[in-house]
């Protein structure tokens, strides 16, 4: 089984609200053909743009909840459509239907989908909690899925070809072939209320800690994606070795 996380910046224009990058997800689906998989995706410039307006202080207005939920459903429909166009058999599963806060209380929809040869698609979402509504990121969900289903590999697809020591393009920035957290400098670009690159790194480390190899790659680098899914060699990604 594969675990594939589509980063919001990889599938949307993060600085342009509600702008989807057509065709990216379709190519990923073609590479995944014949593999059992769970796919997750970020909210990108759909959900983050809306959530930032209404959730900046950590307090939700009812309209903010509704509009953010509308945005995540919109981007998820686009992702599911492109996965299907690429030959996959996706089935969207709303995290708000199976999570209470950060707790997964009902895995049955995922289990049933996998048993029927479908590809569950989950995403960063607004979910109910004892204190009201909170945001759960796709990175958080990816860690849960890795611990529960133990995929043979996890891949985080981004708009850059790996994790850099500093924001790509800045003086001295170097891509890490193997993740070294001590060399990482965080940066924020565009709209993101779920933690950006540091959240991805933390999720990757948590997944590797249960013995699963993790790769952080560019969504445009089909050759590396094929290599990672085949044997883990000859790729141009940042690798996080499994450990336990």
Q: What pLDDT, in 10s, does the model give residues 128-151?
A: 999 899 889 999 999 999 999 999
Helices (H), the chain: 8-11, 24-32, 44-55, 62-85, 95-98, 108-115, 138-149, 196-208, 222-230
% of residues, the chain, pLDDT over 90: 70
Query: What does the block give as tokens for 15?
Result: 């600085």
Output the pLDDT for position 168: 82
Q: What pLDDT, in 10s, does the model give residues 54-73?
A: 765 666 788 889 999 999 99
Q: What pLDDT, in 10s, does the model give residues 24-50?
A: 999 999 999 999 999 999 999 998 778
Q: Which residues contact 138 (CB under 8 A, 6 or more apart)?
A: 5, 40, 41, 42, 43, 122, 123, 124, 194
Query: What does the block give as tokens for 199?
Result: 């959240």
The continuous run of DSSP H or E covering 119 comes out as: strand 119-123
Q: In whole angstroms, what is the distance from residue 55 CA to residue 53 CA?
A: 6
Residue with tokens 């029927």: 116
Q: What pLDDT, in 10s, does the model give residues 203-244?
A: 999 999 999 999 999 999 999 999 998 877 788 999 999 987
**Per the confidence metrics, is the pTM higher than 0.85?**
yes
C-alpha distances out from residue 1 to 70, 102, 138, 189, 233, Å: 30, 24, 18, 32, 18
Q: What pLDDT, in 10s, does the model give residues 183-196?
A: 775 544 443 444 46
User: In a 3-state reduction of DSSP, which class is residue 29?
Assistant: helix
Q: Please determine, for residue 19, whether its predicted confidence score (pLDDT) is greater than 80.
A: yes
C-alpha distances out from residue 119 to 5, 79, 93, 135, 202, Å: 13, 12, 10, 23, 25
Query: What does the block give as tokens for 14?
Result: 């993060």
Q: How far apart are the first and last CA of the chain?
A: 19
C-alpha distances out from residue 152 to 33, 54, 180, Å: 16, 38, 22
Up-side HSE of residue 124: CA atoms within 13 Å toward CB?
Answer: 28
Q: In whole angstroms, what is the distance from residue 138 CA to residue 8 CA?
A: 9
Q: What pLDDT, in 10s, does the model give residues 100-134?
A: 999 999 999 999 999 999 999 999 999 999 989 98
Q: In whole angstroms, what is the distance from residue 154 CA to residue 138 CA?
A: 13
Contact (Cβ atoms closer than 8 angstroms) between residue 27 and residue 87: no
Q: Which of 39, 35, 71 is nearest to 55 (CA)?
A: 71
Output the pLDDT for position 173: 85
């Amino acid at each position: 089984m594969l675990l594939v996380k589509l980063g919001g910046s990889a599938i949307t224009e993060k600085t342009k609200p509600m702008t989807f990058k057509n065709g990216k997800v379709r190519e990923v689906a073609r590479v995944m053909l014949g593999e059992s998989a769970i796919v997750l995706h970020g909210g990108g410039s759909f959900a983050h743009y809306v959530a930032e307006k209404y959730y900046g202080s950590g307090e939700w207005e009812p309209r903010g909840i509704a509009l953010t939920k509308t945005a995540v459903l919109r981007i998820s429909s686009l992702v599911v459509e492109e996965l299907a166009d690429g030959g996959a058999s996706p089935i969207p599963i709303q995290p708000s239907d199976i999570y209470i806060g950060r707790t997964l209380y009902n895995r049955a929809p995922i289990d049933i989908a996998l048993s029927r040869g479908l590809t569950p698609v989950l995403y960063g979402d607004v979910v109910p909690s004892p204190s009201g509504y909170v945001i759960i990121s796709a990175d958080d969900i990816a860690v849960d899925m890795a611990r529960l289903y133990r995929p043979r590999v996890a891949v985080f697809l981004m708009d850059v070809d790996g994790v850099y020591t500093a924001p790509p393009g800045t003086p001295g920035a170097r891509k890490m072939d193997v993740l070294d957290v001590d060399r990482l400098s965080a940066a924020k670009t565009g709209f993101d209320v779920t933690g950006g690159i540091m959240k991805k790194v933390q999720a990757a480390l948590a997944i590797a800690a249960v013995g699963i190899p993790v790769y952080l790659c560019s969504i445009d680098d089909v050759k590396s994606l094929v290599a990672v899914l085949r044997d883990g060699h000859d790729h141009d990604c940042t690798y996080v070795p499994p450990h336990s």
